[in-house]
């Protein structure tokens, strides 16, 4: 088979990338073509995404990619969840899309919960209530700008909004829509209960698309502007970055319900696949949430504040005149030896930027624990606490699914930290399989290849194993010691 080139546009909450995937029928080769920043913009105490910069940066990246690759078959976009843009009756964007960190949802949280109590919301949607949820953001939008309801023709989630700019076709893809709190917890279609209770219009979102869809060729005016020769297909593939990553895991169909996953990055996402959403009181109280898979299945998971804490420390220390890279951080933590104290990564103060070292020490004082003597001990506390929070969540997943998770797949940039991976194996007492590092990008590419009929589902795992290296890590810590540390962590986590 002649080599085919597709472009994954992977947008994160701090940067965006165009990564090419070259497929020869048996192996995928990745290459970064272009990278650009993507920071939310604070304007008059509101946070927005610069959609115009995103569009322009992607166009520039496409021109670079075609010069390198000669021909491009298709492109598709994956992003973080929950955020969206408004389209008016002329097909134009209404204002810049808000960032999920914008404060307007918090201003209206109490009023929302009066109309839709948290447990009732979970049972309707299968989603844990959070001010970042699309449904809460929309509620706040209409409270502060009620005129919007008359101006809106369509609402598109972020990956679908960007694809619209390149195709002028409007769709909302299932995996990204599943993060919104707008879907029914059982049917996974738009929730009539949500829309009636909050006076939203289902027509704004259209039909929710499952699996991949070719939206059409790249707009001719864009091809002309960039001088492109390729007639690039714009594909709505797997829109949510974590769903894309799960598609990139070499998990056989018969093993997927006994396998867990940990997305290890700024956020840590710990989950497992289930046939149907799990919408029970036990799941609600455990803080578990349900999101969609590319094939229409379900991911039961929990979000944990992840390496954000370490990233904030790095930034803080750089402001003090010393840049400590992530590799050096791991070395310092390894040399420090076992932690004597723990933090709860989901403690509210850790989610906010600034003064992270002081916040950690304040938490340790609050919980009556020993303070670190140096940076190595401080970092060791963080890494062990993350691994222990993963362990606690894995146990909750097993209790709520009735399945014993035999193997845990770790992916994302965090798997380059050997210490964190080994600690996760030690405390979970599970076999850990790592990779790929670029899991979201890989899943994006896989979804395009399947949509173009260049790759069949039955061959997906073989192609992934042929394309990317993976390591298997076994526990080295005795089960009794792991259980003791887990109990001590959970006692701390319960108090704060």
Q: What is the pLDDT of residue 437?
A: 87
pLDDT digits (tens, 9 = 90+) for 29-84: 999 999 999 989 999 999 999 999 999 999 999 999 999 999 999 999 999 999 99
- Phi, psi for residue 17 in degrees, rounded to 5: -145, 150
Burial of 22 (0-12, 13-18, 19+ CB in 10 A): middle
Token pair 């992934």 is found at: 464
Measured CA to CA, the distance from residue 450 to residue 439 in angstroms comes to: 16
The pairing of strands 74-78 and 233-236 is parallel
pLDDT digits (tens, 9 = 90+) for 6-15: 999 999 988 9
Q: What is the pLDDT of residue 54?
A: 98
Measured CA to CA, the distance from residue 11 to residue 18 in angstroms comes to: 9
Domains and CATH numbers, the chain: 4-236 (3.30.420.40), 250-435+470-496 (3.30.420.40)
Which of 25, 393, 66 has its CA nearest to residue 227? 66
Q: Exactly one of 141, 241, 295, 426 is catalytic; which is it?
A: 241
Measured CA to CA, the distance from residue 399 to residue 388 in angstroms comes to: 17
Q: What is the pLDDT of residue 9?
A: 98
Q: In 266-374, where does DSSP find H-type helix?
A: 281-285, 308-319, 326-336, 356-366
* Cβ atoms 446, 293 nearer than 8 A: no
* Cβ atoms 316, 270 nearer than 8 A: no
- According to DSSP, the residues that pair with 330 across neighbouring strands are none
**pTM listed for this prediction:** 0.94
Give Cα separations from 204 to 136, 157, 295, 341 (angstroms).
16, 11, 24, 50
Kindly state the tokens that stand for 179.
């993060």
418 is catalytic: no
Q: Give Cβ neighbours of residue 4 (< 8 Å, ≥ 6 apart).
A: 22, 23, 73, 449, 452, 454
Which of 124, 125, 122, 157 has its CA nearest to residue 138? 157
Q: What is the pLDDT along the chain (496 residues), one digit of tens a residue?
A: 789 999 999 999 889 999 999 999 999 999 999 999 998 999 999 999 999 999 999 999 999 999 999 999 999 999 999 999 999 999 999 999 999 989 999 999 999 999 999 999 999 999 999 999 999 999 999 999 999 999 999 999 999 999 999 999 999 999 999 999 999 999 999 999 999 999 999 999 999 999 999 999 999 999 999 999 999 999 999 999 999 999 999 999 999 999 999 999 888 999 999 999 999 999 999 999 999 999 999 999 999 999 999 999 999 999 999 999 999 999 999 999 999 999 999 999 998 889 999 999 999 999 999 999 999 999 999 999 999 999 999 999 999 999 999 999 999 989 999 999 999 999 999 999 998 889 999 999 999 999 999 999 999 999 999 999 999 999 999 999 999 999 999 999 998 8
């Amino acid at each position: 088979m002649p080599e085919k080139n597709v472009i994954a546009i992977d947008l994160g909450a701090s940067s965006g990338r165009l990564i090419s995937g070259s497929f020869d029928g048996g192996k995928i080769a990745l290459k970064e073509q272009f990278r650009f920043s993507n920071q939310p913009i604070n304007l008059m105490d509101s946070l927005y995404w610069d959609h115009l910069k995103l569009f322009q940066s992607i166009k520039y990246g496409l021109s670079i990619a075609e010069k390198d690759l000669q021909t491009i078959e298709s492109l598709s976009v994956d992003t973080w969840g929950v955020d969206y843009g408004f389209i008016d009756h002329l097909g134009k964007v209404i204002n810049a899309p808000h960032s999920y960190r914008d404060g307007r949802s918090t201003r209206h949280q109490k009023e929302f919960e009066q109309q839709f109590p948290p447990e009732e919301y979970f049972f309707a949607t299968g989603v844990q209530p959070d001010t970042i949820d699309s449904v809460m953001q929309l509620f706040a939008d209409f409270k502060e700008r009620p005129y919007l309801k008359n101006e809106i023709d369509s609402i598109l989630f972020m990956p679908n909004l960007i694809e619209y700019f390149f195709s002028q076709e409007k769709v909302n893809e299932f995996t990204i829509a599943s993060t919104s709190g707008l879907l029914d917890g059982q049917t996974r279609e738009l929730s009539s209960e949500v829309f009636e209770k909050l006076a939203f219009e289902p027509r704004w979102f259209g039909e929710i698309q499952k699996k991949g869809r070719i939206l059409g060729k790249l707009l001719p005016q864009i091809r002309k502007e960039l001088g492109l020769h390729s007639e690039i297909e714009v594909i709505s593939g797997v829109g949510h970055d974590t769903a894309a990553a799960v598609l990139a895991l070499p998990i056989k169909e018969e093993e997927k319900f006994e396998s867990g996953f940990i997305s290890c990055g700024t956020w840590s996402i710990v989950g497992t696949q289930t046939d149907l959403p799990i919408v029970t009181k036990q799941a609600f109280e455990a803080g578990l949430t349900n999101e969609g898979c590319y094939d229409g299945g379900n991911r039961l998971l929990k979000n944990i504040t992840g390496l954000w804490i370490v990233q904030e420390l790095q930034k803080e220390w750089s402001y003090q005149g010393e840049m400590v890279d992530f590799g050096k951080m791991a070395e310092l933590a390894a040399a420090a030896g076992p932690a004597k104290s723990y933090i709860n990564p989901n403690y509210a103060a850790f989610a906010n930027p600034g003064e992270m070292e002081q916040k950690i020490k304040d938490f340790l004082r609050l919980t009556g624990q020993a303070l670190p003597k140096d940076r190595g001990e401080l970092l060791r506390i963080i890494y062990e606490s993350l691994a222990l929070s993963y362990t606690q969540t894995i146990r909750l997943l097993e209790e709520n699914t009735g399945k014993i998770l035999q193997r845990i797949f770790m992916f994302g940039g965090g798997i380059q930290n050997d210490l964190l991976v080994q600690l996760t194996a030690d405390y979970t007492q599970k076999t850990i399989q790592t990779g790929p590092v670029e899991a979201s990008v890989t899943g994006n590419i896989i979804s395009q290849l399947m949509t173009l009929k260049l790759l069949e589902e039955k061959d997906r795992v073989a192609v992934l194993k042929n394309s990317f290296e993976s390591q298997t890590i076994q526990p080295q810590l005795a089960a009794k010691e792991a259980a003791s540390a887990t109990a001590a962590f959970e006692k701390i986590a319960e108090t704060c």
